[in-house]
Structure 1
Amino acid sequence: MHADEIDPQALEAVERQQRFPMPHSHRGLKLLRLLSRATTWYQNRTLPSVGATIDRTIPGPAGDLDARLYLPDADGPFPTVVFFHGGGYVLGSIATHEWLCRHLARESGCAVLSVDYRLAPEHPFPAAVEDAYAAVEWTAANPEAVRGDGRVAVAGDSAGGALAAVASLMAAERDGPEIEYQVLLYPGVGVEDDHQSVEEHAGLVLSEADLQWFRECYFESDVHERNPYADPTNAGDVSGVAPATVLTAGFDPLRDGGKAYAEQLVSDGVPTRYENYEDMVHGFMTFRDVDRAYEAIVDVAGDLADALAVRGSQ
């Protein structure tokens, strides 16, 4: 499940990231968010070009949500991928995933709508879930607002991958919007403390203390952790959800949870492609200096293009 050693470029990225340890306090979190804005601005100084970007707000259950639409350099309309960023439901933003979303739009031929949802601990569960599902509903109901052709997919990484999976589950159970495909990038689902991936790789990008702190920020009660809309692995039946790509990283403590959900999807008859990048770490698809990150983006973008018949329709 993991290679003999971490990809050298990924290891360099991890070592740079470890200069800024995760704070396990609200005061430390505020400082880290401020630092993240500064470092994100520097990282985004050069970005891959797309046809256009459009900043807008979309209605959410507790107020407007910021969103950024990335359009391919082609004539629309396009299928729309609603994207949710990672960050443990506590960190992350549209800006932290700008590089990833731009490449995803370029390589898939789809419009990508990146959505900022409410973050914990200020807004614990189910705020992020409610925002994510509202964004999917709005996108499906307003294709003209996103240069869309009416087809909708969902995608996300880490906590955002969990939100994408939950949005797909909610749409299936509530007779909601038709979601054509879901792309779950090292999703934060089904994680158990006794997983081999946690025991062997916690401390590399994510420590056990980090995982616990994210849970404490996100959940006001342990009861919520068993809610299928908090973690889709708690669902008794996921047979109605969209076909999926599930991608994990070999040196990621979340690896085994993501793999288990891919197996759950397959067991319930959902067409699913599972891919494990054995020499990679958690979060690697946002590492712009890692060649394998771009390879993985091209890989999952191809799945989106095939599922949504983008290449065949242009």
Structure 2
Amino acid sequence: EVTVAAGDVCSECSLILGNGLIDSSVGKQSELIVVVRDQWNNLSPEGFLSATCHSPNCSLAIENHRNGTFSVLFTPYKKEVIELSVRVNGYPIIGSPFKVQVKGGYFPVPPLEWSFLGPFDWEECLQVPTSALSRSGLCEYRSFKENVPINAEVVYPSPIIKGGRVSWRKTKISALGYARIKTTGSDFFGWAVGEFEVQRAGTYNVICEGAYELYINDISFSGGSWHPINLEKQKYEITLLLSSMGGIGDFRCDFMPDTSTDDTIWPVESFIDVYSLPGEQSWFALIQ
């Protein structure tokens, strides 16, 4: 019988999971899952984790699950942008420190999973009005909405990709809220469709980075800037027209409450530094 142990902890190989970086509001505890791995991507329970909340208005603790994963639990108490640093065995994890927008009240969580259709060539839409893309309804939103069934097992022509045909595929967002589409090395456009739920009717500001246009309730908004929109308590579908250069497209959407109040419920004149060692209970200290 041979027991194979994980190799040395690799901070560059470890990663953050969960929605805590994009789902943070005043007084709400958010969670990040940190997966500690070795250079061969094996879980490494021998690692230790440290985390710092660089704000006087934040509490933080760590749970060691003793299997190579940790939970970083933080609760912000003021509407602001805070920074969270996460280190594995003393070395920063990729992306650390993370900037977190703490929101002042309830807000919808953006889609956690997207359906993507593409890539397609813009030139075919612009130069050939009767092209196969145009006839399929892929060149503009109205015809897309009427003629392209979401997630249907249908193939569409795309000469810029090997095989010349594409169909719907799924992509999930990262802990930072970004979804990534990898295609060929060519510039392309495509469509992404996701769902989100509003639990409290109101006016919210929405932004979708990496999108040329976005559509909610058949209302068009330009990508890359904030837009106010009135939303009722229900589920919504959001459609993005993506346009990317170089064959890789990163995009994300976010919501903010439409409020100018300065929501603070616990101002603490300190910052939190937390360490969790393997096999030990979590502890935290207020560093004055």
Larger Rg: 2
Structure with greater strand share of residues: 2
Q: TM-score range by the shorter chain?
A: under 0.3
Structure with greater helix share of residues: 1
Scaled by the length of structure 2, what TM-score is found?
0.21
